[in-house]
Structure 1
Amino acid sequence: MQNKQIPRYQQLKDLIIEQIYDGALKPLQRVPSENQLVKSMGVSRMTANRALKELNEEGYLNRRAGVGSFVSDFRVNSHLFEIKNIADEVAFRGNKHNSRIIKQSLIDVPRKISRIMNIDSNEQIFHILLVHYEDSIPIQIEDRYINRFFAPNFLEQDFLSITPSSYLSGISPLHQAEQIVSAIIPKNLISNLLEIEKESPCLLITRKTWVKKEMITYGKFYHPGDRYELVGHYEPVKSNKFQKNNKKFM
């Protein structure tokens, strides 16, 4: 780091990027902290902070609030038009899934949920809030409400060993589902659970599911913006009429 024509923070960035490409810093490996960089590289704290911040913004690093900076590994892919069990997605990638339950209870139906799910406001509903991890890194927060008449034994389930999606699909296959994808700046609780910095963007999937004509679940699924992406593929099916007309121009 002796080229005076290149800013010190950029030299530090280039060095870390080179170590990532060379394999000296491996995916998910923790990189030196600001204080460690100040001591080992002879740079100012401001220089170290800017280098780590920009590497995070550019996708080379993943900064986890209160924990440190880690080399980015991958972007999790999920199909936009399918509803999959997140544990199966993680296993498909050859990684380990585990979860942490924040809440699992029977509550009075919140007014908003009563209106959305068309449930009497005097009724009760199951609510679960949990964090899904991939190799100990949080990749999804599941905040879901479940019609208690559809899954009366919901509270008796061990959702550390089975996911809510897997359990619910075992009761009955879905007949209809709706998903809305939004980019948001999450509230502090979500940021803390996902171990991301405040003001970091998230992908929010709002999902409604029906069996027959009754809505059975309403959920919000939060994903860190730098660890998750949705992929959709669409291929139009040509009608016979189109194919017949198209032959005239071949």
Structure 2
Amino acid sequence: MVSIHQRIVEDIETRIMGGIWLPGHRIPFEHELVEEYQCSRMTVNKALSALAQRGMITRRRKVGSFVASRQIDRTVMDIQDISTEAELAGHHHSHKILRRKVETLDAATAAQLGETTGADILRLHCLHTVDGKPNALERRIIMLAMVPSARTESFASVPPGKWLLDMVPWSKARHVIRAVSADAATARLLETERGKACLTLIRQTWQMSRTVTHVEIIHPGDRFQFAGDFHPTERGVPNQRSKRGSF
């Protein structure tokens, strides 16, 4: 049985993740939550403290609690979308949605993501162009239980990665970079040769233990590179300071 404390956490988290409460929105005062959930003030305080520790909300003494800014997450965790990276480097970016379909999560994909089969997902394919040349093919899955507002979003004006960074908080990410050979379909879209070397970034992001999105981004190997600056820590293990791509 779910405790009242956990129910408060999940209810508030759902409203934030679903875009119902946007950054800066004031969370109901403690006495309002006490009345709504018929519980003690200590229980409410415990729930709000847990949300603050996760970075979901910020608490201001004598003022209240508010939905945290997404910008903090992006700066600390250092995830940028393709369009922002291109524009920061002085290039022109555009995108086109090639596929947009709501599906049910199949067994193979569920195992890959560490999720349960049967969940509703939004599957997207998006072609990114930089300075008039295809630069990346994005294949993305969005978990609709975590991002219900994505169900009706067309992504026509804002690419999926940028939209997610602006709309959805997250707490953990994992990157894998690998070299692949372009198959016929990928080569056609990226205007390269079949079998040509490509760089692929695979990224999965979570909010706590639940997947928000999984994306595979394929770049032509001769038009893109991953680069980073590092510095040694006190133990001599290098830490990455920044990541960037050149177009």
Matches within 5 A, 1:187-202: 187-202=183-198
Superposed displacement of residue 115, structure 1 = 1.0
Partner of 2:97: 101
Consecutive unaligned residues of structure 1, counting only runs of 5 or more, are 1-80, 240-250
User: In the alignment, what sits opposite 2:85?
Assistant: 89
For 1:172, which of 168, 174, 179 is the aligned residue?
168
Are the aligned partners of 1:207 and 1:220 in contact in 2 as well (CA < 8 Å)? yes
Q: What is the TM-score with the length of structure 1 in the denominator? A: 0.60
In 1, Cα distance between equivalents of 2:186 and 2:106: 20
Counting only pairs closer than 5 Å after superposition, residues 34-73 of structure 1 correspond to structure 2 as: none
TM superposition shift of 1:109: 1.2
- Match status 1:226 vs 2:222: yes
2-side partners of 1:91 and 1:224: how far apart? Answer: 19
Aligned partner (choices 176, 180, 183) of residue 179 of structure 2: 183
Provide the aligned C-alpha RMSD in A: 1.6
Matches of 2:117 and 2:225 in 1, distance apart? 36
SS in 2 for 1:150: coil
Q: 2:46 maps to which residue?
A: none
Structure 1 residue matching 2:212: 3-state secondary structure:
strand
Give the CA deviation at 1:177: 0.6
Q: Distance in 2 between matches of 1:152 and 1:215?
A: 13
Are 1:174 and 1:211, in contact at CA under 8 Å, matched by a contact in 2? yes
Shift of residue 191, structure 1, vs aligned partner: 0.9
Residue 134 of structure 1, CA deviation: 0.6
Higher strand share: 2
- SS of 2:109's equivalent? helix
- 1:148 pairs with one of 144, 160, 167: 144
- Cα distance in 1 for residues equivalent to 2:109 and 2:185: 20
Q: Cα offset for 1:86? A: 1.0
| Identity percentage of aligned residues | 24
Residue of structure 2 in register with 1:210 after alignment: 206
Letter in 2 for 1:134: V
| Change in CA separation of 1:87 and 1:180 when aligned onto 2, cut-off 3 Å | same
Point out where structure 2 has 5 or more consecutive residues left out of the alignment.
1-76, 236-247
Say whether the 8 Å CA contact 1:143–1:219 is kept in structure 2.
yes
1:89-133 per-residue CA deviation (whole Å, 9 max, x = no partner) reads 111122221111110110121322211223332222110001001
Runs of 4+ aligned structure 1 residues displaced above 4 Å come to none
For 2:185 and 2:107, the matched residues in 1 are separated by: 21
For residues 22-37 of structure 1, what are the structure 2 equivalents within 5 Å? none
Q: Is the 8 A contact 2:147 2:168 kept in 1?
A: no
Shift in alpha-carbon separation, 1:170–1:90, aligned structure 2, 3 A: same
Deviations 1:145-201 (A, max 9, x none): 110011112142232311212221223332111111101112211111101011110
Q: C-alpha separation between the residues in 2 aligned to 1:159 and 1:109?
A: 21
Aligned length: 159
- TM value normalised by structure 2: 0.61
Q: Which amino acid aligns with 1:138?
A: P
